Amino acid sequence: MTAPVPAAALDRARDALEQAQADPHGDLVATGPARPTQVASDAGVQTMIVRDQLDMHVPAGVITLTLYCSGEGTVTGTLEVDDDARVGNELICGADGASSDDITMKRAQTGREMTIRVVPVGDTKAAVSYIVTVH
C-alpha cells in the first residue's frame, strides 16, 4: 500500500521548520515535527489530526504559532494557552513548497499549558509542522 502523502511533502514541511528554527522571530517555545495528514493502514487511509498538549511554562508576551503545510488541500490550526484559544485561517497547503499561517495571542500572564491543534479539511494529502515563538 502506498503512502497517501508524498515523501516530498514531508521533506518540504521538515525544511520549512528547520529554516524557522535557524532564524526564529522571537524566543523559541516549541516545535512540531513534520507529520502527514493521512496515513495508510490495514483498515485503509486514516486522517491524522495533530493535538500536541504541552505541560510547560508559557512565557507572557506575544505568542505566535507559525503553521507550515505542504501538499494538497487545506488545514486549520488552533493555539491554546490555558483557557485562551485562537483559531487561524484555513491554510491552503503549498504544492511546490510549504505555505504558512501565523496565529498570534497576546498574554499578560504566564501560562501552565499549551495545546496546538492542526485539523485537515476534507481529503487533504499534505504534511504539517509548526514553530511557537514569544516576544
Q: How far apart are CA 93 and CA 67, in angstroms?
A: 10
The confidence band for 128, taking pLDDT boundaries of 50, 70 and 90, is very high
Mean pLDDT calculated for residue range 10-31? 91
Q: List the CATH number of the domain containing 77.
A: 2.60.120.380
Domain tally, the chain:
1
Q: Each residue of 43-56: pLDDT tens digit? A: 888 999 999 999 99
Question: Is residue 114 assigned to a domain?
Answer: yes
- In DSSP notation, the chain reads ---SS-HHHHHHHHHHHHHHHHS-SSEEEEEEEEEESEEEETTEEEE--EEEEEEEEE-SEEEEEEEEEEEEEEEEEEEEETTEEEE-PPEEPBSSS-EEEEEEEEESS-EEEEEEEEEEEEEEEEEEEEEEEE-
Residue 129 is predicted with a pLDDT of 96
**C-alpha torsion angle, residues 104, 108, 110, 114 (rounded to 10):** -20
Residue 45, in any domain of the structure: yes
13 located within any domain:
yes
pLDDT of residue 111: 94
Question: What is the arithmetic mean of pLDDT over 56-71?
Answer: 95
In a domain, 1, yes or no: no
Residue 12 lies in a domain: yes
Q: What is the mean pLDDT of residues 83-95?
A: 95
pLDDT band at 4 (very low <50, low <70, confident <90, very high): confident
Evaluate whether residue 48 is within a structural domain. yes
- Residue 109, in any domain of the structure: yes
Q: What pLDDT score does 3 carry?
A: 66
Distance CA 112, CA 105 (A): 15
pTM assigned to the model: 0.92
Range of the structural domain that residue 64 is part of: 7-134
CA–CA separation, 94 and 6 (whole Å): 13
Residue 2 in any domain: the answer is no
Q: What is the arithmetic mean of pLDDT over 68-85?
A: 96
Q: How many CB atoms lie within 10 A of CB 80?
A: 18
C-alpha cell read off for 14: 521538515
pLDDT at 122 over 50: yes
Residue 1: per-residue pLDDT:
47
